[in-house]
Amino acid sequence: MIILGIDPGYATLGFGIIESVGNTQKLIKYGSIVTPKTERFPSRLKYLADEINNIINEFKPDAIVVEELFFQSNQKTAILVAEARGVILLVAENSSAELFEYTPLQIKQVLTGYGHAEKKQIQQMVTVFLNLPTIPKPDDAADALAIALTHARSNSILGRFKI
């Protein structure tokens, strides 16, 4: 199974692509999409949609996994990220891949066993599960890989209980 994890953002969006076979996950690619700051917001959203489509067309994921939003103190930023997330969900829904969403709490719980784990702990688990020499950079990409790993590991566990 090829899994595309997405850490939503409108200025910087992280993505991570892994292959999952049983209990083993392998890194395929990770990175970030940075939208041009000089562009109008609608143009930035279109840029995100086009780039996500390019990634989907190149890697043909079986599943696309997006982090659900959590409360942010800056309402303007939260609204802009929510709008970007809407574009991401639309592009994902229009693809042939299945779409899944996980909360930050679920991601922390699956990867560390503790729902209030620190960001550094999550990043360290990403390096362990993918057998990487260092924590992936930028942080948005590491977060996207964590999201993809959450789905892979949840799917692996739930798959054992299918009748």
Band of pLDDT at residue 162, cut at 50, 70 and 90: very low
Q: Which two tokens stand for residue 159?
A: 């798959």
Identified catalytic residue from 7, 62, 83, 139: 7
Q: Whole-angstrom distance between the N-terminal and C-terminal Cα of the chain?
A: 20
What's residue 110's pLDDT? 93
Q: How far apart are CA 134 and CA 132, in angstroms?
A: 6
Per-residue pLDDT, 71: 61
What are residue 119's phi and psi, to 5 degrees? Answer: -55, -40
Dihedral sign, Cα of residue 146, residue 148, residue 153, residue 155: positive
d(CA 92, CA 76): 24
Check if 139 is active-site: no
pLDDT at 73 over 90: no
Bridge partners, residue 13, by sequence: 33
pLDDT surpassing 50 at residue 55 = yes
pLDDT, tens digit (0-9, with 9 covering 90-100), for 98-148: 999 999 999 999 999 888 899 899 999 999 999 999 999 999 999 999 999
Give yes or no: 143 in active site. Answer: no
> In the CATH scheme, what architecture does the domain 2-159 have?
2-Layer Sandwich (3.30)
Its pTM surpasses 0.85: yes
Q: Looking at 19, 67, 118, 139, which residue is catalytic?
A: 67
Which tokens belong to 107? 């991601």
Cis peptide before 138 (omega within 30 of 0): yes
Query: Has 67 been annotated as catalytic?
Result: yes
